[in-house]
């Protein structure tokens, strides 16, 4: 009986960790709705297009601006790499949280850091919100229940 109780406690703990619900978890994180149209413009202005193609928008994003891409990491569609809104936002503000060995550059960063540029000190939060709205539209993400804001 004691062991069953212990097993229950351990499993509950694991469940909580898996739910990302601890003090450092992302539960409750919600950005306001962004403007996907502006987001598309920022996507070009910040030169995300140097490294990313967007499924279905290849001609629209690169050709008119005469951009010569340096690599091709496709964004959008149904992928197992990005399944939730949280993963999408994280991949923009913390690119090194998951580094793909598929995309190597010369010179290699060599230290497990992503080759993706870090935009955190140049991108405003408003711009981030709009870019997320644009990129999110390109993915088949798991439905995200946004926080309902209540006066308390
Ligand atoms: C210098 C190249 C480069 C630039 C510029 C760049 N990225 Fe990335 N990005 C990458 C690479 C490489 C990855 C794959 C993960 C890794 O190895 O870091 C990635 C991953 C991502 C992912 C996760 C996709 C996945 O399938 O894993 C998103 C979303 C993303 N980038 C968005 C952006 C946005 C938005 C911008 C512009 C604000 C941008 N990136 C600019 C190189 C770049």
Per-residue pLDDT band for 110 (boundaries 50, 70, 90) equals low
| Phi, psi dihedrals of residue 5, rounded to the nearest 5° | -60, -45
pLDDT digits (tens, 9 = 90+) for 54-106: 988 888 888 778 888 888 888 988 777 777 788 889 999 998 887 777 766 55
User: Greater confidence, 112 or 131?
Assistant: 131
Q: Which of 49, 95, 139 to mutate for ligand 1's pocket (most ligand atoms within 8 Å of CB)? A: 95
User: Are 74 and 137 spatial neighbours (Cβ–Cβ below 8 Å)?
Assistant: no
Compute the distance from residue 3 Cα to the ligand 1 centre, in Å. Answer: 47
- Summarize the confidence of residues 110-118 as an average pLDDT: 82
Per-residue pLDDT band for 7 (boundaries 50, 70, 90) equals low
pLDDT digits (tens, 9 = 90+) for 28-45: 888 899 999 999 999 999
Q: Whose CA is nearest to atom 5 of ligand 1?
A: 48
Give the per-residue pLDDT at 150.
83
pTM of the model: 0.81
- 103: Cβ below 6 Å to ligand 1? yes
Give the per-residue pLDDT at 87.
85
Domains, the chain, ranges and CATH?
32-138 (1.10.760)
- Summarize the confidence of residues 102-131 as an average pLDDT: 83
- Summarize the confidence of residues 112-117 as an average pLDDT: 85
Compute the distance from residue 143 Cα to the ligand 1 centre, in Å. Answer: 22
- 128: Cβ below 6 Å to ligand 1? no
- 44: Cβ below 6 Å to ligand 1? no
Residue 124 predicted with pLDDT over 50: yes
């Amino acid at each position: 009986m004691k062991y069953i109780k212990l097993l229950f406690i351990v499993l509950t703990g694991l469940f909580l960790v898996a739910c990302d619900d601890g003090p450092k978890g992302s539960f409750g994180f919600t950005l306001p709705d962004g403007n996907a149209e502006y987001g598309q413009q920022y996507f070009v202005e910040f030169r995300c297009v140097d490294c990313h193609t967007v499924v279905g928008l290849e001609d629209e994003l690169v050709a008119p601006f005469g951009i010569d891409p340096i690599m091709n990491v496709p964004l959008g569609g149904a992928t197992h790499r990005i399944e939730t809104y949280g993963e999408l936002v994280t991949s923009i503000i913390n690119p090194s949280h998951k580094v793909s060995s598929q995309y190597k550059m010369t010179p290699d960063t060599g230290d497990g850091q992503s080759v993706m540029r870090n935009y955190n000190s140049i991108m405003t939060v408003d711009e981030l919100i709009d870019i997320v709205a644009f990129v999110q539209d390109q993915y088949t993400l798991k439905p995200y229940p946004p926080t309902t804001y209540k006066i308390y």
